[in-house]
Amino acid sequence: MAMATPQGTPYLVGPVPFEDVGGGGGEDHIVAVPPPEDEYADIVSAMPSTTMIGFPLLRYQGSWLLKTWVTGVLSVQRRFAPRPDDVLLASLPKCGTTWLKSLAFSTMARAAYPPSAADHPLLRLNPHQCVPFLDDLFSSGEATKAVEALPSPRLMNTHMHHSLLPPSVTAGKCKIVYVCRDPKDGLVSMWYFAKSIMPAGSTYTFSDMFEHACHGETPNGPIWDNILSYWRASRAHPDKVLFLRYEEMLLDPGHAVTNLARFLGVPFTAAEEAEGTSADIVELCSFKAMKVLPANNTGTFTMLGFPHRSLFRKGVAGDWVDHMTPEMARRFDGIVHEKLRGSGLTFAAP
Residues of the shown chain interacting with ligand PAP in the complex, contacts defined by CB under 6 A = 91, 93-99, 185, 189, 192, 285-287, 290, 311-315, 319
What are the two backbone dihedrals, phi and then psi, of residue 349, each rounded to the nearest 5 degrees? -65, 135
Q: How far is the CB of 296 from ligand PAP (least distance, A)?
A: 8
Per the CB < 8 A criterion, the answer to whether 227 and 244 are in contact is: no
Q: How far is the CB of 342 from ligand PAP (least distance, A)?
A: 27
Local structure of residue 229 (DSSP, 8 states): H
34 or 318: CB nearest ligand PAP:
318
Per the CB < 8 A criterion, the answer to whether 137 and 144 are in contact is: yes
In the chain the first and final C-alpha atoms are separated, in Å, by 49
Q: How far is the CB of 285 from ligand PAP (least distance, A)?
A: 5
Residue type for position 191: W
256 or 261: CB nearest ligand PAP:
256
Is 212 one of the annotated active-site residues of the chain?
no
185 or 333: CB nearest ligand PAP:
185
Catalytic residue selected from 29, 120, 128, 159: 159
- Give the CA radius of gyration of the chain: 20
Residues 338, 343, 347, 348, Cα dihedral to 10°? 50
Q: How far is the CB of 98 from ligand PAP (least distance, A)?
A: 3
Mode of pairing for the β-strands spanning 63-66 and 49-52: unpaired
Closest CA to 320 of 124, 23, 95: 95
36 or 93: CB nearest ligand PAP:
93
Positions marked active-site:
159
